[in-house]
Amino acid sequence: MDKADAKNAVEEYVYDLRNRLSNELEKFIKKQDCTEFVNLLNSTETWLYDEGDDLSKEVYQEKLRQLKNIGDPVIERYREYTERPAAFQRLNEMLNTAKNAFSAYMSKNEKYSHWEPSDAEKLRKAIDEKERWYQQQMAAQSRRALTEPPAVFVHQIVLEAQMFESVVGPILNKPKPTPKKKKESAPNEKKESAKEASPESKAPTAGEQQVPSEPVPKVEEVD
């Protein structure tokens, strides 16, 4: 980044934050803090076109850092507020799916008859642990003002959901054992069986002699 880019970055941040503070970010910063921050943004804009018009890259980078120290936490609170409901909902849906499966297993549902008792116990413990964490974080977040840092961050909720899935997924998706197929006779075996059962192929028993048939002598007529 050269000097011009560093200066432009400060200018863009000033314009962006000043506009957003009067719109979507307004609820996520205290009024007094917002007033002071807007004044700082305005004075920074004036500075850029006055004594700050042609300074070193490092000066502009430091100015941007100072502004971000105030503005970025506000942006973060807004982003977390908008993304948190979906993250909590996803975790709650996963919990409900696991709880329904466990309930079905306890009711002797045939779908889960192949589970081992250890599978069900592992599932129960995972549900209890994650349900407790979920309720605690929901309660803690509900007590936080929009102008305060989140009690729990979206990336933490996503991580907890992934950890839960890694435990319960293999149990919920455990396939039933494949039924054993009846053993079928091989084609050659079937042919041999048919051959043995055929009268023509039956060999004479011991003591039996096959006597070849002789032609019957022709009797001549006498006149």
pLDDT confidence bin for 219, thresholds 50/70/90: very low
Residue with tokens 């105030």: 70
Question: Is 129 domain-assigned?
Answer: yes
pLDDT, tens only, 6-62: 999 999 999 999 999 999 999 999 999 999 999 999 999 999 999 888 899 999 999
pLDDT, tens only, 93-131: 999 999 999 999 999 999 999 999 999 999 999 999 999
Specify the higher pLDDT residue, 220 or 172.
172
DSSP state of 1: -
Question: Is 111 domain-assigned?
Answer: yes
Question: Is 215 domain-assigned?
Answer: no
Whichever domain contains 58, its CATH number is: 1.20.1270.10
Number of domains in the chain: 1
Question: Is 178 domain-assigned?
Answer: no
Question: Is 163 domain-assigned?
Answer: yes
Residue 15's domain spans which residues?
Answer: 3-172
Q: What is the pLDDT of residue 181?
A: 74
- Give buried/exposed letters for 26-53 (b at 16+ CB in 10 A, else e): eebbeeeebeebeebbeebbeebeeebe
Q: Is 7 exposed, middle or buried (0-12, 13-18, 19+ CB in 10 A)?
A: buried
d(CA 42, CA 38): 6
Planar angle of CA 15, 20, 26, nearest 5 degrees: 140
Enumerate residues 6+ apart whose C-beta is below 8 A from 28: 74, 77, 78, 81, 146, 147
Specify the higher pLDDT residue, 125 or 199.
125
Q: What is the pLDDT of residue 223?
A: 41
- Give buried/exposed letters for 121-133 (b at 16+ CB in 10 A, else e): ebbeebbeebbeb
pLDDT confidence bin for 74, thresholds 50/70/90: very high
Question: Is 188 domain-assigned?
Answer: no
Q: What is the pLDDT of residue 189?
A: 56
Question: Is 151 domain-assigned?
Answer: yes
Question: Is 196 domain-assigned?
Answer: no
Specify the higher pLDDT residue, 192 or 164.
164
